[in-house]
Amino acid sequence: MAFSLPADSNWHRAFFPLSAANFTAVGSPSTTFDNLFVTGSSGGGVLSSWTVGKTHRFKAAVVQRPVINWTSWLLTTDMGAFGARYWFKQLPWDDQETYWKHSPLALVGNVTTPTMVLVGLSDLRTTVGEAEQYYQALQLRHIPTELYEIPGAAHVLIRPSQLAAQSTAIVEWFDRYRSAVGH
């Protein structure tokens, strides 16, 4: 299956091809349907948050470094001018409907999946505020959630200790919701 991520704000368009790949994998004899998890970082964080707003298929999710609200992202990111020029046709105050329609926060009312939100505290690309919005929205909905903040981490983790801590946190979160094998 050929697939590429959209090069604009329409990340949600990737949901359907990824879902098709997921359905194919679920049909495999080596896949346990009761233990499906979803995670992604940056654009993958957008897709992960979009996915749990569209389906209840996954046991748990880890949304890493996401854009949750395209308006707040555009106004706080280190690449706001780029995003405004290449990803949107208008600025948020001229077309708030489009920004909201593409924001995973618009789908938070559908989320039932336990979701960890992960962010680097020095991330200027997808800022802490994006993660905090999603975490708070999940809390208000009483969805099991955890905010995992990595001190000193930018958008791309550089230090091995940060990568190890992140990987451990993700595995522990998924293990918390993993079904026993054979049940």
pLDDT in tens, 74-92: 999 999 999 999 999 999 9
Q: 141: helix, coil or strand? A: coil
Is residue 72 among the annotated active site residues? no
CB 50 within 8 A of CB 12: yes
Please name every residue paired with 146 in a beta bridge, in sequence order, or none if there are none: 116
Name the nearest CA neighbour of 68 among 137, 167, 15, 17. Answer: 137
- Among the listed residues 28, 42, 167, 183, the single catalytic one is 42
The average pLDDT across 60-71 equals 98
The token pair at 72 is 């707040």
For residue 4, name the pLDDT band (cuts at 50, 70, 90): very low
The predicted pLDDT at position 53 comes to 97
CB 74 within 8 A of CB 130: no
For residue 1, name the pLDDT band (cuts at 50, 70, 90): very low
Residue partners of 132: CB distance under 8 A and separation at least 6: 147
Is residue 12 among the annotated active site residues? no
Report the length, in residues, of the chain: 183
**pTM across the whole model:** 0.84
- Among the listed residues 9, 48, 72, 155, the single catalytic one is 155
Residue 28 has pLDDT above 90, yes or no: no
The token pair at 28 is 């495999």
Angle in degrees, CA 93, 97, 102, rounded to 5: 110
Please give the full DSSP string across 124-140, using - where no structure is assigned.
SSS-HHHHHHHHHHHHH
Residue 18 has pLDDT above 80, yes or no: no
